[in-house]
Amino acid sequence: MNLDVEILARIQFAFTIMFHYIFPPFTMGTGFILVIMEGLYLKTGNKAFEVAAKFWTKIFAANFSIGVATGIVMEFEFGTNWATYSRYVGDIFGSPLAAEGIFAFFLESGFLALLLFGWNRVTPRVHFLATCMVSLGSLMSGFWIVVANSWMQTPTAYEIVGEGIQARAVITDFWAMVFNPSMMIRYTHTIIGAFIQSGFLVMSVSAYYLIKKRHKSVAKRSFKIGLYVAFFASLIQPILGHEHAKVVAEYQPTKLAAFEGLYETTESAPLYILGFTDPEDEKTYGIAIPGMLSFLISGSTEHSVKGLKEFPKEDWPGSIGLVFQSYHLMVGLGTLFILMTAIGVLLNRQRKLFENTLVLRIFSWAVFLPVLANQAGWVSAEVGRQPWIVYGMLRTNEAISKSVTGEEVLTSIILFFILYVLLFFTWLYILDKEIKHGPDDHDPEHFESGYLHRAEKAQNIGKAIKGKGE
């Protein structure tokens, strides 16, 4: 059987990284929400925030552990399936991965034990510091991974040394490599996507409790925090998308043309809301806003946008239809998130949010939508970069390992699939168990007004007065 090694290796990498990419957004976003919950507990003394933070710490830990386990696999894939790529750009690509391990993973892991087991063992302020450090570590971890990926999208600050099989890229300016042209906008876009995904997770579980009339005090506070995190993140995301489009237009014009199925160079280029592209006829059909693509990348509806035919056909992405649909799915879902969270904020201001069962049921299932949006964004970004593994520098078919066979890659795909199915159901089992158990809010009546905190303070003051009297 003659198996295409490149196609199989790409399928394996896509499968493993898309599975992995379910978890880091949850970790980065939930870590930030934990900081908010514990900060509110320190400020108000309301035990409901502490109980909520304890509960969401367990969910954070479940996502973190699966995320770490699935992330390690990909680093091995660079050595097994993509050895030519690793040899050619390993000096550059390895630097951010090493920095991620040294500066981010150690910080995150170092304080993780205190976050998980430090409750009632250290003061609330020390525990809050640990939560901040874990959150910072997860955000920094994302930073270095995005640095590595962004360099593949917009390579800079390098030179090629050696010739023939000995040729390889080396860094000429480390910080110019780190802050390559697309890095910051891609990082903020990724982080904001993570906040939306985690905000919807918190709202989903909280809505489930409110529908079941369980843990109402903790669930209401958690829902509001998740709602406002997702609302503000959803409002920011289109602004970042606009800035991101300008960078893509400047450095990756074939990817931008594939996003919109733009074959001919066009003045007043349209932005499609819905549609499809026909690669055979090299035409795109659907509902479009005239001039909006030109406006998005230049601020002028008359700006001329280069179409795919401006470039050699061998430099076009292999699947323009997939790039077009995944990009528009991401944009469409992003618009839906603004609408959904705006309705939630409006109902909350009218004090009708938690009485509206229909809205709660919608939010209880809506957690899958941001996951789908983040996955679609990854597909459009990575498939849109093809046929380059490093844009304009190294083609994907040149980066494959020379010694690996199709049978070997296929075998590893099957084994990874079995392993990841087991991991996925283990993750679902843990989440289901924790969510069904719920927060340990044994004294819910005390949460509403911070009574417990004030009672404890009054008791301590009373003891102090009594001590002076004696």
| CB-based contact 193:373 (threshold 8 Å) | yes
User: Would you state the structure tokens that stand for residue 127, as one six-digit string?
Assistant: 């525990």
| CB-based contact 80:109 (threshold 8 Å) | no
pLDDT for 459: 53
Distance CA 149, CA 358 (A): 41
For the chain, which residues score pLDDT lower than 50? Answer: 445, 449-452, 455, 470
pLDDT for 199: 95
User: Would you state the structure tokens that stand for residue 282, as one six-digit string?
Assistant: 């090299």
Backbone angles phi, psi at 283, to 5 degrees: -140, 155
pLDDT for 464: 57
Distance CA 313, CA 262 (A): 13
Distance CA 302, CA 291 (A): 7
User: Would you state the structure tokens that stand for residue 57, as one six-digit string?
Assistant: 């710490």
pLDDT for 373: 95
Q: Tell whether omega for the bond before 238 is within 30 degrees of 0, i.e. cis.
A: no
Distance CA 363, CA 206 (A): 9
Distance CA 260, CA 249 (A): 12
pTM of the entire predicted model: 0.88
